[in-house]
A and B are shown apart, each in its own frame.
Chain A
Amino acid sequence: MNVLSLTAKQIAELVLTGSLSPVDVVEAYLDRAKRLNPKINAFITIAEEQARRSAEELEKRLRKGFSGKFVGVPVAVKDVISTKGIETTCASRVLKGYIPPYDATVIRRLKAEGAIVMGKTNMDEFAMGSSTELSAYGPTRNPWNLERVVGGSSGGSGASVAARMAPIALGSDTGGSIRCPAAFCNIVGLKPTYGTVSRYGLISYACSLEQIGPMTLDVDDCALLMEVITGKDGFDSTMIDYKFKWTPREVKGLRLAVPKEFFGEGTDERVVDKVWTIIKLLESQGAVYEEISFPLARYVLACYYIIAMSEASSNLARYDGVRYGFPCDLSSPWYDSYSKVRGEGFGVEVKRRIILGCFALSAGYYGRYYLKALKLRTMIRDHVLSILKNFDVIVTPTTPFPPFKIGERIEDPLALYMADVDTVVANLAGVPAISVPAGFVDGLPVGAQFMANYCHEDLLLTIAKCIQDETKFHTKVPEEARL
């Protein structure tokens, strides 16, 4: 038995029955991660010592009868999530050397179930990007084709799972940052309903949009991870009372809405074909679909970026080099010192978004950009909810194109922003959305996306499970990750 070919659920079961030791599991994944990381660059930090120590402690606790849903399961964590005692950089120079003195709530919950943090994964700096090329630690390469991007911003988490460097990973999704890399890596990625997963310990970029969520090889691991990370937390006052629970059911009778604007101009025809194949597959299993119109599709990207950049300009004001990060210069006046820390510490996309956000919030432009975007957000949310009154889910491609070449879009921010056109709707509306493997275009993975009403993650997993069982795409392994 090769431990690297197991799912998280299988690992935990074998550890609990004594057939596998947590130390052996961790060693196998550490060895694998260290061997592949120079090529793929999925991890910023491989927490070798901490992971070993946790595995040894876990063995002692197991002997005393400890049990949990993720016993002995290594988890790769996006470097935007705080991990006690393990460097957390947000892939930025400004936070290099920052060691959080506390765990994010999601990490605390995973540890309580016996999971072991094995490292911190690469990402676009402060989660701002759609390709994981905008990291101070260099781009992550796609295990399906090393010349291609892995998607972003949780690209390191996606690549780590796809290349079997970790069985499961956590990402964060502000405008598609879990779903895009899931699609580009042939894995499952879920953005939960806003307010169902604690954001305590998530280093903020755009608070009203972002959620932590699971990135896994299969649907069962995704469900298990959701069971552990959802649930109210006293440290996050924006939460709703919801605990995920999933009883698999049939897709028979489910009603799918197919908004034609997300299958039209600007979307690669080969991607459209793959997603339609999935829709037809669901139809063959008893689901019904109807093509509908989403006239606001044209405005979703502008609306999203104005809001995200405005919130970013406020959230990122805290990086002044005083309490943490890139140390400030005590000999200059405060404004020079702060400007220097921020000028040298932030990368170009972060600066671009802070400045645009400042502009959108400034006197004279607030009404034209920020306030208008918030009103558009109301219209978009209401439109999504009105569709979901008549349908169970909305289906779109996850991204309009397959993984592109590293460097291909990097000089043109607008071209890069286009990667998010299918995913931002769910963040603007706050509804849950999943990306499921939908097949391959020239050997590169693409994803199908499903959105449901608030707290209807169970429907998303039911559909994902049906697709998984019928296609078995999830069993395909990239060349770079052959075991």
Chain B
Amino acid sequence: MSDSRKTIITPETLDYLSELAKLKLTEGEKKTFLRDLNRILEYFSIIDEIEVADVEPAFHVLNVSNVMREDEVGGDSLTQDEALANAGHKEEGYIKAPRMV
């Protein structure tokens, strides 16, 4: 990229982001992503033209508020077998996950 101001995502930033996102990228992907992501961000910078200081953010378009209920098991839950059916690794009615610590 000729204009260094447009290079927001450097190879180091990309490594950091892929670590945050838990996404192992191949060398080929890293190369095309560096090009694509910077081009897309350059396009996104169009929003810098607009002044929004006094505007409230719209996290949601409708005025919905939290819906609360008692913390009880509903009548129509999955059985243990159904809940485990799609897990790749399981043992004695539990899902097996990789080592956490």
Q: Give residues in A with beta carbon < 8 Å to B.
A: 97-99, 101-102, 194-195, 208, 237-240, 298-299, 302-303, 305-306, 313, 317, 320-335, 337-340, 342-344, 346, 348, 351-352, 354-356, 358-359, 362, 369, 371-379, 381, 413-414, 428-430, 454
Known: A302-B46, A356-B37. A208 touches B61 (CB 8 A): yes
Question: Contacting B57 at CB < 8 Å: which of A195, A346, A378?
Answer: A378
Taking the closest CB of chain B, its distance from the CB of A465, in whole angstroms, is 27
Q: Are A348 and B29 in contact (CB under 8 A)?
A: yes
Question: Contacting B88 at CB < 8 Å: which of A327, A335, A429?
Answer: A327
Q: Are A413 and B64 in contact (CB under 8 A)?
A: no
Known: A372-B52, A378-B55, A414-B40. A358 touches B21 (CB 8 A): yes
Q: Are A374 and B58 in contact (CB under 8 A)?
A: yes
Q: Are B55 and A379 in contact (CB under 8 A)?
A: yes
Known: A303-B47, A333-B98, A355-B14. A375 touches B56 (CB 8 A): yes
Neighbouring A residues of B13 by C-beta, 8 Å = 359
* 5 contacts across the A-B interface (CB closer than 8 A): A237-B67, A240-B64, A313-B21, A351-B33, A373-B47
Q: Are A208 and B60 in contact (CB under 8 A)?
A: yes
What sequence of 0s and 1s flags, for each residue 22-55 of chain B, a beta carbon within 8 Å of any chain A beta carbon?
Answer: 1111100100110011011101101101101001
The residue in chain A whose Cβ has the minimal distance to the Cβ of B39 is A414
Question: Contacting B23 at CB < 8 Å: which of A298, A321, A334, A342?
Answer: A342
Q: Are B98 and A355 in contact (CB under 8 A)?
A: no
Q: Are B29 and A351 in contact (CB under 8 A)?
A: yes
CA of A215 to CA of B90 in the docked complex: distance in angstroms?
40
Neighbouring B residues of A356 by C-beta, 8 Å = 37, 40-41
Whether, in the assembled complex, B1 has its beta carbon less than 8 Å from a beta carbon of chain A, the answer is no
Neighbouring B residues of A413 by C-beta, 8 Å = 36, 39-40
CA of A391 to CA of B89 in the docked complex: distance in angstroms?
57
Q: Are B21 and A324 in contact (CB under 8 A)?
A: no
Neighbouring A residues of B89 by C-beta, 8 Å = 322, 327-328, 330
Q: Are B17 and A322 in contact (CB under 8 A)?
A: no
The residue in chain B whose Cβ has the minimal distance to the Cβ of A193 is B62
Whether, in the assembled complex, B96 has its beta carbon less than 8 Å from a beta carbon of chain A, the answer is yes
Neighbouring A residues of B32 by C-beta, 8 Å = 348
CA of A331 to CA of B72 in the docked complex: distance in angstroms?
37
7 closest A-B pairs by CB: A327-B88, A343-B24, A430-B61, A374-B57, A324-B86, A237-B67, A375-B52
Known: A337-B98, A355-B21, A379-B55. A194 touches B61 (CB 8 A): yes
What sequence of 0s and 1s flags, for each residue 49-90 of chain B, a beta carbon within 8 Å of any chain A beta carbon?
Answer: 110100111111110101100000000001000110111110
Neighbouring B residues of A378 by C-beta, 8 Å = 55-58
Q: Are A343 and B23 in contact (CB under 8 A)?
A: yes
Known: A303-B47, A352-B37, A362-B17. A195 touches B24 (CB 8 A): no
Neighbouring A residues of B87 by C-beta, 8 Å = 322-324
Q: Are B95 and A323 in contact (CB under 8 A)?
A: yes
CA of A376 to CA of B53 in the docked complex: distance in angstroms?
10
The residue in chain A whose Cβ has the minimal distance to the Cβ of B57 is A374
Interface centre among A240, A362, A375 (most CB of B within 10 A): A375
Neighbouring A residues of B17 by C-beta, 8 Å = 355, 358-359, 362
Question: Contacting B36 at CB < 8 Å: which of A320, A352, A359?
Answer: A352
Taking the closest CB of chain A, its distance from the CB of B73, in whole angstroms, is 14
Taking the closest CB of chain A, its distance from the CB of B78, in whole angstroms, is 5
Neighbouring A residues of B26 by C-beta, 8 Å = 343
CA of A162 to CA of B49 in the docked complex: distance in angstroms?
42
Neighbouring B residues of A324 by C-beta, 8 Å = 86-87
CA of A324 to CA of B78 in the docked complex: distance in angstroms?
15
Q: Are B22 and A338 in contact (CB under 8 A)?
A: yes
Q: Are B88 and A194 in contact (CB under 8 A)?
A: no
The residue in chain A whose Cβ has the minimal distance to the Cβ of B18 is A355
CA of A320 to CA of B9 in the docked complex: distance in angstroms?
25
CA of A190 to CA of B82 in the docked complex: distance in angstroms?
34
CA of A428 to CA of B50 in the docked complex: distance in angstroms?
17
The residue in chain B whose Cβ has the minimal distance to the Cβ of A339 is B24
Q: Are A299 and B98 in contact (CB under 8 A)?
A: no
Taking the closest CB of chain A, its distance from the CB of B75, in whole angstroms, is 11
Taking the closest CB of chain A, its distance from the CB of B33, in whole angstroms, is 6
